[in-house]
Amino acid sequence: MLEADARERIMVALDCDRERALELGDLLSGRARWVKIGMTLFYAEGPAIVRAFKERGFKVFLDLKFHDIPHQVRGAARSAAFTGADLLTVHGLGAGDMLAAACEGAREAAEATGAERARVIAITVLTSMNAEALASIGVTDDIASEAQRLATLARERGVDGVVCSPQEAHAMRELLGEDALVVTPGVRPAGAAFGDQSRVATPASAIAQGASHLVIGRPITGANDPAEAFEAIVTELVQMA
Residues designated catalytic: 65
Q: Taking a C-beta distance cutoff of 8 angstroms, is the pair 182, 161 a contact?
A: yes
- State the Cα–Cα distance between residues 218 and 193, nearest whole angstrom: 9
- State the Cα–Cα distance between residues 189 and 210, nearest whole angstrom: 17
> CA angle, corner 68, sides to 62 and 74, nearest 5?
65
> CA angle, corner 89, sides to 235 and 86, nearest 5?
65
Look at the chain and count its residues: 241
Q: Taking a C-beta distance cutoff of 8 angstroms, is the pair 90, 99 a contact?
A: yes
Q: Taking a C-beta distance cutoff of 8 angstroms, is the pair 230, 26 a contact?
A: no
By DSSP bridging, strand 213-216 and strand 119-123 are unpaired
In sequence order, what are the residues at sequence separation of 6 or more whose Cβ sits closer than 8 angstroms to the Cβ of residue 199? 127, 130, 143, 165, 166, 167, 186
